[in-house]
Amino acid sequence: MIAEDSPYLGWPGRPKLRIGNFLSLTFYWFSNNTLWTGLLLIIMPAKVMQLVGTTNSTGHLSVVNLAGTIVAVLAAPIFGAISDRWQTKSGRRRRQMAIGVVGNIVFFLVMGFATNFALFLIGFIGVQLFNNVAGSSYTGLIPDLVPHEQRGTASGFMATWNELASIVGALLATALAGMGYWYATAFIMLLGLVVTLVFVREPLPPKVKPFDLSSFLHSFLISGPEYRDFWWVYVTRFLVMLGLYVLEFYLAYYLQFVMGIKNPGGTVFLILIVLTVTALLSALGAGYLSDRVGKRKFLVTWAGILMGLSSLLFVFMHAIAGIYVAAAVFGLGYGTYQSTDYALVVDTLPSKNAAKDMGIWGTSTTLPQVLASTIGLAMAALVIPHWGYSLGYRSLFAVTFVLFLLGSVLVRNVRKVV
């Protein structure tokens, strides 16, 4: 909750939202995360191994993630800033979303049809580009439309959709063969766009000055005391997301090479089910609670610590039953974190150019993907050849514990939010 004298109170006069408004406003989060859950955790590791073979799979998977994520890092703030300046009678967010989703679907299907690694890589780069064209515009809708006193609730709905997307994305990836997965996921992406276009009404955009390249570029230099809290939230999110993506990118290979599971896709699906059930228990309730009693920082901190402790279990685990226990504990922390951290950053936004600022904040999610991929490349080149898969992946997951811990403890440096 923001202190009453905080400068981060946003635009005045927003009407309070009802449950239907929350559902339609946050539904795109479901469609988008349905794509990413199945793609990153199950489809990409399997497809890369199919295209390049087992020996080269870790390095090539890291290359795909690295190339695509670099594009995402550049695209998110740029297209967020463009969205802030797009003046139309229907608002400034949804038309850019439409362009992004259509392009996302096209390149997503390119990945599905790819019969060689180069085409698969091109498809993923295109997915990252257009996904961020749409996503950077969409993230501006929450600050635009949600009153301050309902931001935790909105974040809770987003987290809930995210957990449901984990189940649906993993189910599609494991149950549908051939192009069935790709077509079904593309349809869900299109459905997310349609729901947003039909049911979400934007306020009239504020008037902006005519486009000036110098002013446009200068807007990305966000500094000064009004951005202090924003950058602390950015740093803490970066560390937590880095730990999350290391776990996410290499979970399937951990299960295969360390736990000895020959076909890890089904096990990943079961892990996601366990994680999602516990995350759903905490997601919506934590967001609502943060609106009613405040303590967003407290909830974010302890959620991250809980995620770190559960990731530490992977280092010492030798039985698959223990992995499910770790997933259940992780889900409780993850649901709480998702439903409160997004509200925390929206509370610290000092600018009406919300999509640009949220696009910059979004790099706290995409830049960790670059670093996680780089860590994977280093492990494939230096650790695994000398120490083997078991020590390599267990050491990698030990690093995630440290990242989660740091990302949680440093939240205390955010001053204007309690």
- Which tokens sit at 116? 């060689």
Residue 86 lies in a domain: yes
Tally the C-alpha atoms within 13 A of residue 78's C-alpha that lie toward its C-beta: 10
pLDDT of residue 10: 39
pLDDT of residue 209: 56
- Which tokens sit at 397? 């997951």
Residue 134 lies in a domain: yes
- Which tokens sit at 330? 């992780």
Residue 241 lies in a domain: yes
Residue 216 lies in a domain: no
pLDDT of residue 376: 73
pTM of the full structure: 0.69
Residue 190 lies in a domain: yes
pLDDT of residue 220: 55
Q: Is 223 exposed, middle or buried (0-12, 13-18, 19+ CB in 10 A)?
A: exposed
Domain total of the chain: 1
Residue 107 lies in a domain: yes
Residue 145 lies in a domain: yes
pLDDT of residue 88: 67
User: Rounded CA gap, 26 and 401, in Å?
Assistant: 30
Strand partners, 2: 417
pLDDT of residue 62: 82
Could you give the residue ranges of the DSSP H alpha helices within 86-179? Answer: 94-113, 117-138, 141-145, 151-175
pLDDT of residue 206: 59
pLDDT of residue 28: 94
Q: Which pLDDT tens digits describe the chain residue by residue (418 residues)?
A: 333 333 333 344 567 788 888 888 889 989 999 999 889 888 998 899 999 988 788 788 888 988 888 898 888 888 877 877 776 666 678 888 999 999 999 999 999 999 999 999 999 999 999 999 998 888 878 777 888 778 778 877 887 888 889 889 989 998 997 899 999 999 999 999 999 999 888 766 556 555 555 555 555 556 666 778 888 888 898 999 898 888 877 888 888 888 888 888 788 888 888 888 888 888 777 777 777 766 778 888 889 999 999 988 888 877 888 889 989 999 999 888 887 877 777 777 665 555 566 667 777 877 887 788 777 777 766 777 777 777 777 888 888 899 999 999 898 888 765 5
Tally the C-alpha atoms within 13 A of residue 224's C-alpha that lie toward its C-beta: 8
Residue 1 lies in a domain: no
Q: What are the C-alpha distances in Å from 107 to residues 57, 174, 298, 358?
A: 22, 21, 41, 24
Its domain, for residue 71, covers 19-205+223-413
Which CATH number goes with the domain that contains 77?
1.20.1250.20
pLDDT of residue 249: 76
Strand partners, 417: 2
